[in-house]
Amino acid sequence: MGVLVRRLGALAWRHRWIALPTLLISTAAQLITILGLAGQGLAIDVIRSELDRSAPSPHWPLGLGPGADWGFLAKVGLVSGFILAVALVNAALRFSQRLTDELFVQACVVSLRSDLYDKLQRLPFSFFDTHDTGQVINRVAGDTQAVRAFIQGVMIRSVIAGITLAVFLVFMLRTHTWLTLACLSVLPFQVWLMTRYGRITKPKFLEQSRLVDVVVKTFQESIAGVRVIRAFGQERQMTERYDAHAGAARDQRIEIARDQGRYQPFVQASNFASMGVLLGFGGYLVHLGPVQGGIALGTLWIFRGLLEQLAGQAEAIVQIIASAPESLAGAERVFKMLDEPVKIASRPGARAPSPIRGRLEFRGVGFTYASRPPGERAESQFAPAGRAEEERPAVENPPALSGVSIAVSPGETIAVVGPVGSGKSTLLSLLGRFHDPTEGAVLVDGTDLRDWPLEALRASIGYVFQEPFLFSNTVRNNIAFGRPDATDDEVIAAAGAAGAWEFIERLPQGLSTVIGERGVSLSGGQRQRLTIARALLMRPPILVLDDATGAVDPVTEAEIQRALERYLSGRTTFVVAHRLSTLRRADRVLVLDGGRVADIGTHDELMNRPGHYRATALIQLSLDEDEPEGTGAGGPLPTEARG
């Protein structure tokens, strides 16, 4: 925990110049509080001396008392005016303290969220393979709020409490040492109580955070999968699951509240005990009077006010200890994400070849996906409420690729085929260093991709993924995502090449039409054509089409293929495809099976020798003969031929 607190302190230290006004204003506010209480004590002594001529004369600070000819009302008016002025200054200080406090906290939280977002942009795909989207969102949104609670509710309040205690104790000790020590005699008991409370509640707050993770994940999956839920009529069951998980989080929070309820009365009782000591011992000192080593009645009043302030600080510290475990639990998970190693990054001194010709080589490439860490509990919305799935030992995943070797000449088009799970998408993901090979190397123009600057590498590759993703933005901005400075003519040309311009023209505002989240207002084929246009606009020397035309009809695919021909000229292209019309256009066809190269050659060469490619192609041809005229060679390969 010490390391965690130091890291939070380092975060706060980055914004120390914003925090400095808060500390100065807090110190001034405590001094003003003492002045206000001193004024009240003076007023009591003035009133007492007027009512009892034998009482000690009021002690005016710094010799600033009124003249001998001042009457009672004038004296009371002077003290009252002083107290009123102090109250106005105190109100201004409290307002300034609240404002500077929030400025400091927001600076820390925004800085932390920016660090998290930046880290998420640089983490490898393997991180997202083993972490749920809901958990990641909860780190950025919920856990950073926990850090805010720690900085504002723990760090700042602790500093303010420390300043308050220091200022008040110095004043009290200088006023009367023994009365101060007597009033603070309950302090060891309060410290023991707070320490015990924090030790008991910390694991409960950690469990609370885990349960909230499950709630967030369930909610996120329910929104993302709303069509599936409704299609299978599972609305009521999903609502019941969500209610059960939310109820488990609620019950845990109630359990924590019970602990707070058990300890809070003891803190309040100790404060009452401290006040009892003050009235008993302090009353005796008032009876003795200042002359005999006692105190004035006004001084007792000042002690009472200070003791109430200290009691308030003691209760605040209890609240700090109550919230600290929850805040630290959230902070721990935030820093755990920030500490995730960025395994895929540019090496120092990395330089990209220039110009880029696009000669590719896979040299003995092997790759295995990472497993979930051993002992980690996988939260599931289908697990019983309030309980995670059982911990499972790590199971080593089988290799997704093994011993893949292939050399590709600049400008060559390679089609990649194979059954489901053969490693087609994995192979293509290595080109952009979404993953690094666990064996062997991938080279472009003779340079290992790990020796390329990452930004330059990815700017050289245009990707069209199997699952099209669009942002909730205009059509133009989606196409120009990789080149925001592209002209409208360039955007239109890329859209035309992807076969998208015809339907874009029919949209209400054309290129300025805002499409819904993930492009749900468009058909699957329209979304895919926009993603193809996005890749073409980059004009990259290397193009990767991961089943880019699988979601369009054969006629549209033929149009896209014809438009693509002039774009593919001179560009090294990898294309995952299932239709013979696409495979015939490729310079060579790479057949993968079980993560290994099963065969490679032109379409004609593969058709002339037995193997997976010839078998599936013959099946497709036989199916095409049974289809209506015009839908032949464009039809997809059978399911068993896909990957």
Strands (E) in 389-525, as ranges, are: 401-408, 413-417, 439-444, 447-448, 461-464
- Domains of the chain, each with CATH number or no CATH: 2-338 (1.20.1560.10), 357-368+398-459+578-643 (3.40.50.300)
Q: Could you tell me if 348 and 449 are in contact, meaning their C-beta atoms sit under 8 angstroms apart?
A: no
Averaged pLDDT in 10-residue chunks for the chain of 643 residues: 73 81 83 81 77 69 64 80 86 87 84 82 72 68 72 74 78 80 77 74 74 78 75 80 87 82 72 78 79 76 79 68 68 79 77 80 89 50 47 66 92 88 88 88 89 85 82 88 89 86 87 76 80 87 81 68 73 84 85 90 87 77 54 43 38
Burial class (CB in 10 A: 0-12, 13-18, 19+), 459: middle
Tokens encoding 282 = 């302090």
- Which three-class secondary structure string do you get for 267-300? HHHHHHHHHHHHHHHHHHHHHHCHHHCCCCHHHH
Q: Which helix (H) or strand (E) holds 83?
A: helix 72-122
- What is the Cα Rg of the chain in Å? 37
Task: Please state whether the peptide bond connecting residue 508 to the residue before it is cis, i.e. omega within 30 degrees of 0.
Answer: no
Query: In which region does residue 430 sit, left (phi positive, over 0), alpha (psi from -120 to 50) or beta (all else)?
Result: alpha
Give the pLDDT score at 325. 67
Q: Could you tell me if 120 and 92 are in contact, meaning their C-beta atoms sit under 8 angstroms apart?
A: no
Other beta carbons within 10 angstroms of residue 182's beta carbon come to 17
Please tell me the distance from the alpha carbon of residue 544 to that of residue 463, in angstroms, as a whole number.
5
Give the pLDDT score at 366. 93
413-417/401-408 β-pairing? unpaired
Main-chain dihedrals φ then ψ at residue 572, nearest 5 degrees: -75, 125
Which amino acid is located at 338 in the chain?
Answer: L
Alpha helices in 176-296 (DSSP H): 177-183, 187-224, 226-231, 235-288
Give the pLDDT score at 1. 58
Pick the closest to residue 420 from 125, 130, 129, 637 (CA basis): 637
Give the pLDDT score at 642. 37
Give the pLDDT score at 361. 92
Please tell me the distance from the alpha carbon of residue 94 to that of residue 346, in angstroms, as a whole number.
50
Q: Could you tell me if 430 and 365 are in contact, meaning their C-beta atoms sit under 8 angstroms apart?
A: yes
What 3-state class would DSSP assign to 66?
coil
Pick the closest to residue 120 from 95, 97, 140, 142 (CA basis): 140
Please tell me the distance from the alpha carbon of residue 439 to that of residue 356, in angstroms, as a whole number.
25
Give the pLDDT score at 365. 93
Tokens encoding 168 = 């008040």
